[in-house]
Amino acid sequence: MPPEMPLECAPHTLLRIAGAHALIAPQEPPLWVGASIRRAPWVVMRRAEVRSGLMPVGVRGESRGERLAAWVDGATILETVTPCELTRRRTWQSSSRQHVVPALSALDAVHDIMSCRGFADAWGPTGSVGFELASGCATATVASDLDLALWTAQLPGIDLARSLLAALESLPVRGDVLLETPRGALALAEYAYGDRRVLLRTASGPLLVDRDDEGFVRGKTVAA
């Protein structure tokens, strides 16, 4: 099980809101935002710092170019769903599109891969797949990648990370895995095969950090 985190520390969490009027943005949102929220009144927690009770969220439209960074008051959030909750519920198994979208149909295999390596319900789908499973709105496509997040209090050893990456790469869908740690997130592929210095994504921005020979991130952080 992943370590329990307060809502403001959990990127990828899906939040259901009452409508576009709940969004707080520095400028007037583009027209697609209202249509998107009417279609699926869900936003995604961004990796940013909470400001005076305002949660950093992202709004997604129908195309990659339609993305909006905004904020919502925590008191206006109607429902929250984390990627790990989607995994625990095996939400994809009740999806009518499971056998149409490869990224959805691969999730049973991902569950087996994660479970046999000791991660069980510490992972969950993010991106378009996670959004679709939480909102019920068809968001993923036949060409969608499978974005995953894996929460761990301590980074796995390099051998385990490489074994996990190899197993996931054997699936018939392109995947992208983020290791979510108390210090921030890093790409599984970069951690498993990258240099000693890796990019750590934090609420205050990206950082370059060193890792030791056992694979644990440590040392002085350096602005990227």
> Is 147 an annotated catalytic residue?
yes
Give phi and psi for 110, each to the nearest 5: -60, -40
pLDDT digits (tens, 9 = 90+) for 78-115: 999 999 999 999 999 999 999 999 999 999 999 999 99
Mean pLDDT confidence for 162-172: 96
What percentage of the chain exceeds 70 in pLDDT?
A: 91
pLDDT digits (tens, 9 = 90+) for 36-67: 999 999 999 999 988 888 999 999 998 888 99
Task: Output b/e per residue, 94-107; b: 16+ Cβ within 10 A.
Answer: ebeeeeebbbbbbb
Average pLDDT, the chain: 90
List of residues 6+ apart from 89 with CB closer than 8 A? none
Phi, psi of 4 (to 5 degrees): -70, 135
Q: Indicate the pTM of the whole model.
A: 0.90
Confidence at 31, pLDDT banded by 50, 70, 90: very high
| Position 1 pLDDT exceeds 60 | no
Cα–Cα dist 102/125, whole Å: 13
pLDDT of amino acid 213: 63
Residue among 73, 145, 176, 210 flagged as catalytic: 145
User: Is residue 145 annotated as a catalytic residue, yes or no?
Assistant: yes
Residue from 108, 112, 121, 147 carrying the catalytic annotation: 147
Model pLDDT, residue 217: 73
Q: Confidence class of residue 8 from pLDDT cuts 50, 70 and 90?
A: very low
Q: Are 5 and 12 in contact, with CB atoms under 8 Å apart?
A: no
Place of tokens 């060193």: 210
Looking at residue 63, its pLDDT comes to 84
